[in-house]
Homo-oligomer: A and B are copies of this chain.
Amino acid sequence: MSSRPSFEQYLQQTTDEVTEALKEILPVHWEMPQSLRDAMQYSLMAGGKRLRPLLVVAAAEALGAQRAAALPVACAVEMVHTYSLIHDDLPAMDNDDYRRGKLTNHKVYGEATAILAGDALLTHAFYSVVQAGRKNGVPAEALLSIVEDLSELAGARGMVGGQVADMEGEQGITDLEQLQYIHLHKTGDLIVFSLLAGARIGGATEGQLDALRVFGRDLGLAFQIQDDILDLTGDEQKMGKKTQSDVNQQKVTYPFFIGMEASQEQVKSLTQSAKEALGRADLSDSSRLMEIADYLMRRDH
């Protein structure tokens, strides 16, 4: 009998499997301009924590589903996340030359191709969701709900709405409520989506979905406040980008409003309330999701 893998092993294995699946995500027989294929692959393979795919897989497994059924949807959310970073980095937006220590997409492929590679990744995410049905037998009704969730949580009332508020906020965020709106939508909604999608693959009840929504909301907010903190205190090499960049760009963060210590307290208390919500979800095995919550709070990059 094999012993249960450690969290570090679980994390490494899941990240590796997602990265392998992403390498094959564009069917080789699909005809398309080589530059487009390269640009899409470049950003998909540019590293990153694969947090959102991890949450899809962990949520599906927490409900007793097979990992294979969750992988296409795990890849879908990573494609949506990746497209959002490509567009965020554009000259008309944050105008970043580097991301995770590598040149940004538009610095390598040019602005036009970067915009279109982002568009194609977003579009292909929905293709990948459908493949969970074609290849792994996830029921059509569950997949349609996943498509619906993704289009809501990644769209105008979700991630894109948060990004617009963030762009506008650069002309002056005046209160914590506004900053929280940005964090909840720009970052949080895709984290909520990941949990809901994994849970739907596992056949979750409405009650379980509701509990996971609360878990995801608190976890996402804790994650983003931790990001704000690490941006001010983190090690440049570990973060893969210039730290204090948000300070230099006059970007308003959680510590700006409530101070560093209270921000750290918030991360802890939000993680705690997230775990309490998770405890109420009545899952087959919530231990990996619990470990992920602790891991995100402890991380230094």
Interface residues of A (CB under 8 A from B): 26, 30-33, 35-37, 40, 83, 87, 90, 92-93, 110-113, 115-116, 118-120, 122-127, 129-130, 133-134, 140-141, 143-144, 147-148, 150-152, 154-157, 160-161, 163-165, 167-168
Contacts and interface: CB of A to CB of B under 8 A. Distances in A.
Given A33-B161, A116-B87, A116-B167, A147 B123 contact: no
A55 B168 CA distance: 38
A126 B124 contact: no
B122 A32 contact: no
Contacts of A160: 36, 116, 119-120, 123
A126 B151 contact: yes
Contact of A133 (B31, B123, B144): B144
Contacts of A140: 140-141, 143-144
B30 A113 contact: no
B115 A32 contact: no
A184 to B, nearest CB: 11
A148 B164 contact: no
Contacts of A93: 112, 115
B36 A164 contact: yes
A165 B118 CA distance: 16
A90 to B, nearest CB: 7
B115 A157 contact: no
30 contacts: A26-B156, A30-B157, A31-B157, A32-B161, A32-B164, A35-B168, A36-B156, A36-B161, A36-B164, A87-B116, A92-B110, A113-B164, A116-B163, A116-B167, A119-B160, A120-B155, A120-B161, A122-B122, A123-B151, A123-B154, A123-B160, A124-B155, A124-B156, A126-B126, A130-B144, A130-B148, A140-B141, A144-B144, A144-B147, A147-B147
